[in-house]
Amino acid sequence: MKISWFDSATNVDDAVANAERARAAGCYRYWSPQISNADPMVVLGIVGREVADIGLGTSVVAMQTTFAQNLAAQARTIAQASGGRFTLGLGASHQPAMEMAFGIPWTKPYTYMVEYLDALLPLLEDQQVSTTGEFVTHHTSLNVPGPTPDVMLAALGPKMLTLASERTAGTITWMTGPKTIESHIRPGIGNGHIAAGVPIFITDDVPAAREFAGRTLAIYGQLPSYRAMLDREGMDGPADMVLAGDLETVRSGLEAYKAAGVDEIAMNVLGTGESLEATWELAASLGGVM
């Protein structure tokens, strides 16, 4: 199982520094999310030029936020800049974010994703597409030389997992524990790559860590797709998904993901200070693999 680093930087200098530290620790990949911090496509384009020998990925970009044409051009540009080290992590976002934050109707997300891939994948591979759909219509082309980036889907439901298995390199999970990965995600994705995002808090005060996690991760217990994964795992809430405790407790928790069939762990550090440094030390001690 490969070990990667998840980082949500607010400025490019921090992202470059963290990606370089992840590379030095032997991490397989440096993941960046599309949230309210620095734009991951810009960040990873710069990181790809500044930091060598580490994979790069978005975890994840919401398809509704950009035309497939534009996203394909961005992805191919990052792949060009990084020498083919970029993976485009793509998702359907969530109904509250789309409707309340952006006023975008939440209609047939699976169909939308199928049509989005109908446009995106040909543009990434052959750089031209002609497709007409209910949600996505593209009759366009690109001219961005270089390698074709892989695509992975944030897939949790059965239909989206099948889609990820049939048309992409694999899936990226969050709030999904080892029991659920073994019984639900791995059968659904088949031989596809599973990159599991795992929240980590190395500490000697586990109750305080879980209280902190309960506050900062509360939204994930309310979003239906993640709530379903927590229920499958038998967890009351997101705080229970955190690998919290001393170094050996966290290491043991990571081993459980490996045994469940995970190919890659994206370590998402919740704590700061000593917890963050301890996780960096853990990553370095593992040398990028378990």
Q: What is the pLDDT of residues 88-107, one digit of tens each?
A: 999 998 888 888 788 888 89
Residue 261 has pLDDT above 90, yes or no: yes
Over residues 231-240, the mean pLDDT reads 97
- pLDDT tens per residue across span 196-235: 999 999 999 999 999 999 999 999 999 999 999 999 999 9
Element (H, E) at 190: none
pLDDT band at 72 (very low <50, low <70, confident <90, very high): very high
Report the C-alpha gap between 199 and 271 in whole angstroms: 10
Residue 281 has pLDDT above 90, yes or no: yes
From the list 183, 179, 158, the residue with the least C-alpha distance to 171 is 158
Beta-strand (E) ranges in 45-189? 55-58, 61-62, 86-91, 128-131, 138-141, 150-153, 170-173
Over residues 70-96, the mean pLDDT reads 96
Q: Quick one: pLDDT at residue 101?
A: 81
Q: Quick one: pLDDT at residue 96?
A: 81
- pLDDT tens per residue across span 157-201: 999 999 999 999 999 999 999 999 999 999 999 999 999 999 999
Name the one residue in this structure whose structure tokens are 């790809």: 48
Q: Model pTM?
A: 0.96
- pLDDT tens per residue across span 121-158: 999 999 999 999 999 999 999 999 999 999 999 999 99
Residue 271 has pLDDT above 90, yes or no: no
Across the chain, mean pLDDT equals 96
Q: Quick one: pLDDT at residue 106?
A: 81
Q: Quick one: pLDDT at residue 125?
A: 98
